[in-house]
Amino acid sequence: MDQLCTCKVSYYDMNFEHSVEVMAETLFEAAVLGIKAMNIPQSRLHLLHLNVVVKSPEVYHSISGASLGA
């Protein structure tokens, strides 16, 4: 991702999918913006597995919370 893209950031919690769409230039920027938009506490990041879908063209990424420096 080298330009501003619409991204869907999501995670599953107790069989429910939580998701939000954000505008970001990089994969990790999308992850951080998604975490902030969903008000996920920093203490829970290491337990999460975030999914990021970059739209147009659609690209799917999956990020472990541990790689976000939690």
- Whole-number pLDDT of residue 45: 85
Q: Looking at the whole model, is its pTM more than 0.85?
A: no
- Whole-number pLDDT of residue 57: 72
pLDDT digits (tens, 9 = 90+) for 21-70: 999 999 999 999 999 999 998 888 888 899 999 887 777 888 887 667 65
Closest CA to 48 of 22, 69, 23, 27: 69
- Whole-number pLDDT of residue 47: 85
Sign for the pseudo-dihedral over CA of 48, 33, 17, 27 = negative
Residue 16 pLDDT exceeds 80: yes
Measured between its terminal Cα atoms, the distance across the chain in Å is: 23
Range of the domain at 27: 5-68
- Whole-number pLDDT of residue 3: 85
